[in-house]
């Protein structure tokens, strides 16, 4: 059982370049999330998708777009990368319903923008 | 303004002793609290959670305590082992919102043999 899979694991971009971070989960979860982790800042929510067909902004959405391709896949796009977007990006998913449940995270994408 | 605060960036404990990690929150609407553990170059992994209707939840060596009046929760690890060395994140969910988790900045635990 793979859980949450993120690709790529590492990426180096030049300022202004674009790229898409991919995320897929095989746990039949309905909600998916993108977080970024920066030193001393904890995990901050970029965008989330509460269910297939919906997406919403989180705490730090500027400079990003997302697509909930289907129930399994949720991608994060940087249209014009900036050095401030150098970070580790984590995708997560959970089953939201009548009961509370934890997030399950992927192993992250380490992005450097020069 | 930080809604979930972990005021200790780091903690060092001797193997076999108790580790106590603390977390404070400001939003009284939070009704679900979680602890995550993170090793370098890996994603956070879920450790233990507690609902606001309880004041204690235990899972093996890990116990989470919730003090709603003080808006404080803590994670106790007994006995601590070198493999527990990691960054620990506290998280909370607002029951009245979309239900997104708000994370603290983390505490780095070092367990020395």
pLDDT average, residue stretch A55-82: 96
pLDDT average, residue stretch B2-26: 96
Test B43 with A90 for CB contact under 8 angstroms.
Answer: yes
A98 has a pLDDT exceeding 80: no
Q: Tokens 């923008």 identify what position? A: A113
- Shortest alpha-carbon distance between residue A104 and chain B (Å): 7
Closest by CA to B44, choosing from B111, B110, B112, B103, is B103
Check: CB of residue A32 under 8 Å from CB of residue A93.
yes
Q: How far apart are the first and last CA of chain B?
A: 38
pLDDT average, residue stretch A3-31: 96
- Shortest alpha-carbon distance between residue A23 and chain B (Å): 13
A63 has a pLDDT exceeding 70: yes
- Model confidence band, residue B78 (pLDDT cutoffs 50, 70, 90): very high
A81 has a pLDDT exceeding 90: yes
Determine contact: B97 vs chain A, CB below 8 A: no
SS3 A71: coil
Determine contact: B39 vs chain A, CB below 8 A: no
Quick one: closest CA in B to A110, which residue? B41
A103 has a pLDDT exceeding 90: yes
SS3 B35: strand
Chain A to chain B Cβ contacts (< 8 Å): 53
Quick one: closest CA in A to B7, which residue? A40
B1 has a pLDDT exceeding 80: no
Please tell me the distance from the alpha carbon of residue A98 to that of residue A79, in angstroms, as a whole number.
Answer: 37
DSSP state, A73? B
């Amino acid at each position: 059982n793979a859980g949450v899979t993120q690709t790529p694991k590492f990426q180096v971009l030049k300022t202004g370049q674009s790229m898409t971070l991919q995320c897929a989960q095989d746990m039949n979860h309905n909600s998916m999330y993108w977080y970024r982790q920066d030193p001393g800042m904890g995990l901050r929510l970029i965008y989330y998708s509460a269910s297939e067909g919906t997406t919403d902004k989180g705490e730090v959405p500027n400079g990003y777009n997302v697509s909930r391709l289907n129930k399994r896949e949720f991608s994060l796009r940087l249209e014009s990368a900036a050095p401030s977007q150098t970070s580790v990006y984590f995708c997560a998913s959970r089953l939201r319903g009548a009961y509370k449940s934890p997030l399950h995270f992927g192993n992250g994408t380490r992005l450097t923008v020069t | 303004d930080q809604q979930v605060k972990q005021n200790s960036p780091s903690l060092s404990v001797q193997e076999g002793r108790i580790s106590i990690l603390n977390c404070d929150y400001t939003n009284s609407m939070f009704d679900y609290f979680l602890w995550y553990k993170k090793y370098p170059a890996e994603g956070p992994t879920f450790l233990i959670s507690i609902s606001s209707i309880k004041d204690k939840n235990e899972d093996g060596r890990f116990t989470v305590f919730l003090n709603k009046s003080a808006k404080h929760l803590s994670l106790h690890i007994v006995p601590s082992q070198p493999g527990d060395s990691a960054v620990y994140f506290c998280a909370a969910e607002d029951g009245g919102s979309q239900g997104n988790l708000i994370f603290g900045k983390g505490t780095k635990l070092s367990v020395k043999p």
